[in-house]
Chain A
């Protein structure tokens, strides 16, 4: 998570910034918000040992986590940490979503930034040490309990959740009541074994995801609930001028300001009425449509990218020479502008939220990445104190950054408040596509100079894009920065002596959001395309060129060497009719290098193989790291080839998967992953696989065809095909 994004979050929710609590305290206070995909069978009696662990009469250990499971495998990864410290058999480990706690401090807030939010590939990074310390503390308290029950003996942990002195053995379940009374030690030693950490353990959530029992937000059922759908103004920024008071078959219509909710006895009836209601609602359209028109926004971006009048935010200045001067004096120069479009999230699970609101309390069940913000949203609408608000986190049918936002939660709470019953709001797919918080478009100009010795001496980088942070947080007296807009271009590990990294905001009124890999999703395309163009301009092999520029950075060099070996780059040419392209990223606390091997099929790109090397520090679960890389590549590849949303005077061009192409099985390349062994602190994985895809493919395409593509996607609009 970038510094900047963290600042946004903290700025919006100062009261929830708390120090991380990791002492075991025996309290049940943190358990109220748990939910998840567990079956309806009554749970065996359990005792909490601290905020994070619960030990039941069958000697199962349940870990309660703050991060949201949205497919990245965080339940499993965090479960492995606890299994290691407590020497648990994997079958004993259960993991559930938890929090926020009813009163501060919230022990489920990510220790990196003090809020319960999931994003920026920060969950393992934030929890790796704190959770191990919490589990190790629990271990010491269980040992202390054994000493209290049978003094004078030497007790040690045994595999399977037990404590033994060699003759007598206690299960944790026999000790936990006593353990809650023990004083937590001030310092604990962490396990040095590697029985769980680093192992390819199976995911805890998969059995429920193959038998239909996993509860996603859209699956929540609450006694007495009604169903709602919504129709928003078809033009972004429009509001309800007038609406019918009722509709046949609907229990209620609720004015949401920018849309109307329909409440009915089932989802389909609500959606059907909502769709037919559109023509009966009078909308007030926004006066400014140019700021919601992508042709206009793109033209403005291209103007600003070359304008000497624009006032850039300068986020990095390195070296003693003005890069503009160094470049002007260089015998070999690059001046290239790269363009990327707005993108939709297109989570498989549409936005939805179930809410129940009374005069004294409010409760939601939601597929949410932003529990801390949910509390503020609900408090703002209901006037209730945070302690009267309960957030239940369900499984997410994909999050991708979209379910961090609050719009769908706010709507459900407003509807529930209006009708006085629990309500489940489900957006139709069309509403989901047309009311997204879109990935910003960008125009990025890279200028660079190579001297007579083939040395890259200077880079001048200018990103022109609408800013997420400025859009969300600008107000009189507050002019926020957005270093996240140049994430992926800042602090490049390449040896480029003189550089300046600029950001020029291109303000527009298309709603923006965090899209898997955020700033890197566009800046890495520009940086790594430019690195390839520079290598070719210098007459160098792109792999050798990068290795030379990263020679002083062992971890960067490590992934390049690994991907070189894995792909056979330096060993042999690509098969006839195909070509390889390379890209590299240091980001999210990790290092990644990617080789795309592509050919043409019917004149269009076919990506046959992808070779990836990653150094993400300690690899807690190599199987899940591979899964995330495979998935990140699929996500990045769809965006590279087809992903684009345009806006005509505020009306989005996409409405469903029949006009927004995503990857299908036949499009999926074979992905090979090499995980570079490391004992460094864990880095991020969930987003790391995405950014290198576009430049690796574009670099391969240039090699294959001699044609440099600097504008994404490769196949926009009518050329997309394959729907």
Chain B
């Protein structure tokens, strides 16, 4: 059933009309709002590529009903540059030359920034990164996290 919703994404209010109220946030971001930085990887909460922050909490947008995001602050990789922790993480990723193909890295950055916001550090953050990177950039992810 089509439904019109108001979302707050990266500090901006957006209005979207979804074809169904159980449409996952991931596809609303990507297909309806054109925010393609958040990635589809598995669709079953295993790979982490779709991770976003919702009211500061790390969430897998591939299974997060868009209606549950109404009234909350959604932050995606496109919004990291407007956030001090986000900029710090991005700078660490660049300094350590982390990405290879780069596809999983938005999710890696979002989970890291979410952990920073929870007050976590270093190895603590690394232990929370259960995401998949098929390029195998883990060694540099660890270095980048350690430098935060």
- Chain A residues within 8 Å of B, Cβ to Cβ: 70-73, 202-203, 205-216, 218-219, 221, 227, 249, 264-269, 271, 346-350, 395-400, 426, 428-429, 623-624, 627-628, 630-635, 656-658, 662-666, 668, 670-671, 723
* Interchain Cβ contacts under 8 Å between A and B, 28 examples: A71-B101, A71-B102, A71-B135, A203-B97, A206-B102, A210-B105, A212-B37, A212-B38, A212-B76, A218-B36, A249-B19, A348-B39, A348-B41, A397-B39, A397-B104, A398-B135, A399-B101, A627-B100, A630-B139, A634-B136, A635-B136, A656-B42, A662-B132, A663-B136, A663-B138, A664-B132, A665-B126, A668-B139
- B46 to chain A minimum Cβ distance, whole angstroms, is 5
Tell me if B's interface is mostly helix, strand, loop or mixed: loop
In the bound complex, residues from chain A placing their C-beta under 8 Å from that of B69 are none
**B134→A348 contact, CB < 8 A:** yes
**A211→B101 contact, CB < 8 A:** no
> Is B90 an interface position by the 8 A CB rule?
yes
Given A267-B31, A429-B42, A429-B43, CB of A211 within 8 Å of CB of B97 = no
Alpha-carbon distance A235/B7, docked complex (angstroms): 42
> Is B115 an interface position by the 8 A CB rule?
no
Alpha-carbon distance A208/B20, docked complex (angstroms): 32
Type the 1/0 row for B22-43, where 1 means its CB is closer than 8 Å to any CB of A.
0110110011101111111111
> Is B84 an interface position by the 8 A CB rule?
no
**B77→A398 contact, CB < 8 A:** no
Residue of A nearest to B23 (CB): A268
**A210→B40 contact, CB < 8 A:** no
> Is B70 an interface position by the 8 A CB rule?
no
Given A219-B36, A657-B47, CB of A623 within 8 Å of CB of B101 = no
Alpha-carbon distance A428/B127, docked complex (angstroms): 29
Out of B24, B37, B38, B134, name the residue touching A211 (CB < 8 Å): B37
**B103→A631 contact, CB < 8 A:** no
Closest 9 CB pairs of A and B: A212-B37, A634-B136, A397-B103, A209-B102, A71-B101, A71-B100, A219-B36, A668-B138, A212-B77
Alpha-carbon distance A203/B49, docked complex (angstroms): 22
Given A664-B132, A668-B138, CB of A212 within 8 Å of CB of B42 = no
In the bound complex, residues from chain B placing their C-beta under 8 Å from that of A628 are 100
- A207 to chain B minimum Cβ distance, whole angstroms, is 7
Residue of B35, B46, B101 ringed by the most chain A CB atoms within 10 A? B101
Alpha-carbon distance A634/B137, docked complex (angstroms): 8
> Is B5 an interface position by the 8 A CB rule?
no
- A691 to chain B minimum Cβ distance, whole angstroms, is 15
- A662 to chain B minimum Cβ distance, whole angstroms, is 6
In the bound complex, residues from chain B placing their C-beta under 8 Å from that of A215 are 36
In the bound complex, residues from chain B placing their C-beta under 8 Å from that of A656 are 42-44, 46
Q: A218-B39, A348-B41 are in contact. List 20 more A-B contacts (CB 8 A).
A: A71-B101, A205-B102, A206-B98, A210-B93, A212-B76, A212-B77, A216-B36, A216-B102, A221-B36, A264-B19, A267-B40, A348-B39, A428-B43, A630-B137, A633-B136, A658-B44, A664-B138, A665-B138, A668-B138, A723-B46
In the bound complex, residues from chain A placing their C-beta under 8 Å from that of B34 are 221
> Is B94 an interface position by the 8 A CB rule?
yes
In the bound complex, residues from chain B placing their C-beta under 8 Å from that of A633 are 136
Residue of B nearest to A69 (CB): B101
Given A398-B134, A635-B134, CB of A73 within 8 Å of CB of B103 = no
> Is B116 an interface position by the 8 A CB rule?
no
In the bound complex, residues from chain A placing their C-beta under 8 Å from that of B133 are 348, 634
**A210→B99 contact, CB < 8 A:** yes
In the bound complex, residues from chain B placing their C-beta under 8 Å from that of A657 are 41-42, 44, 46-47, 132
Residue of A nearest to B92 (CB): A210
> Is B80 an interface position by the 8 A CB rule?
yes
- B17 to chain A minimum Cβ distance, whole angstroms, is 10
> Is B114 an interface position by the 8 A CB rule?
no
Which B residues between 69 and 97 are near A, CB-CB below 8 angstroms?
A: 76-78, 80-81, 90, 93-94, 97
> Is B130 an interface position by the 8 A CB rule?
yes
Out of B20, B109, B130, B135, name the residue touching A210 (CB < 8 Å): B109
What number of B residues sit within 8 Å (CB to CB) of A? 58
Alpha-carbon distance A219/B77, docked complex (angstroms): 14
**A395→B126 contact, CB < 8 A:** no
**A665→B129 contact, CB < 8 A:** yes
**B20→A214 contact, CB < 8 A:** no
**A631→B135 contact, CB < 8 A:** yes
Alpha-carbon distance A630/B129, docked complex (angstroms): 18
Residue of A nearest to B110 (CB): A212
**A631→B19 contact, CB < 8 A:** no
- A272 to chain B minimum Cβ distance, whole angstroms, is 8
Alpha-carbon distance A313/B23, docked complex (angstroms): 55
In the bound complex, residues from chain A placing their C-beta under 8 Å from that of B141 are 665
**A426→B136 contact, CB < 8 A:** no
- A617 to chain B minimum Cβ distance, whole angstroms, is 21
**B94→A207 contact, CB < 8 A:** yes
- B130 to chain A minimum Cβ distance, whole angstroms, is 6
Residue of B nearest to A37 (CB): B102
Residue of A nearest to B102 (CB): A209
In the bound complex, residues from chain B placing their C-beta under 8 Å from that of A266 are 19, 23, 27, 31-32
Alpha-carbon distance A213/B77, docked complex (angstroms): 9
Residue of A399, A428, A429 ringed by the most chain B CB atoms within 10 A? A429
In the bound complex, residues from chain B placing their C-beta under 8 Å from that of A265 are 19
Residue of B nearest to A630 (CB): B139
Alpha-carbon distance A72/B36, docked complex (angstroms): 22
- B95 to chain A minimum Cβ distance, whole angstroms, is 9
Residue of B26, B103, B127, B129 ringed by the most chain A CB atoms within 10 A? B103
> Is B140 an interface position by the 8 A CB rule?
yes
Given A71-B102, A212-B78, CB of A634 within 8 Å of CB of B135 = yes
**A631→B137 contact, CB < 8 A:** yes
- A633 to chain B minimum Cβ distance, whole angstroms, is 7
Alpha-carbon distance A634/B133, docked complex (angstroms): 9
**A211→B81 contact, CB < 8 A:** yes
Given A211-B90, A266-B27, A665-B138, CB of A398 within 8 Å of CB of B101 = yes
Residue of A nearest to B99 (CB): A209
Residue of B nearest to A350 (CB): B40
In the bound complex, residues from chain B placing their C-beta under 8 Å from that of A347 are 134
In the bound complex, residues from chain A placing their C-beta under 8 Å from that of B46 are 656-658, 723
Residue of A nearest to B34 (CB): A221
In the bound complex, residues from chain B placing their C-beta under 8 Å from that of A211 are 37, 77-78, 80-81, 90
**B97→A627 contact, CB < 8 A:** yes
Out of B27, B103, B109, B127, name the residue touching A398 (CB < 8 Å): B103
Out of B26, B38, B44, B101, name the residue touching A348 (CB < 8 Å): B101
**B140→A348 contact, CB < 8 A:** no
Given A212-B37, A426-B40, A658-B46, CB of A670 within 8 Å of CB of B19 = no
In the bound complex, residues from chain B placing their C-beta under 8 Å from that of A71 are 99-102, 135
In the bound complex, residues from chain B placing their C-beta under 8 Å from that of A658 are 42, 44, 46
Residue of B nearest to A349 (CB): B103
In the bound complex, residues from chain A placing their C-beta under 8 Å from that of B130 are 664-665
Residue of A72, A632, A664 ringed by the most chain B CB atoms within 10 A? A664
Residue of B nearest to A657 (CB): B46
Residue of B nearest to A348 (CB): B103
**B139→A267 contact, CB < 8 A:** no
Residue of B nearest to A203 (CB): B97
In the bound complex, residues from chain B placing their C-beta under 8 Å from that of A399 are 101
Alpha-carbon distance A249/B22, docked complex (angstroms): 14
Given A212-B35, A657-B132, CB of A665 within 8 Å of CB of B103 = no
Residue of B nearest to A671 (CB): B139
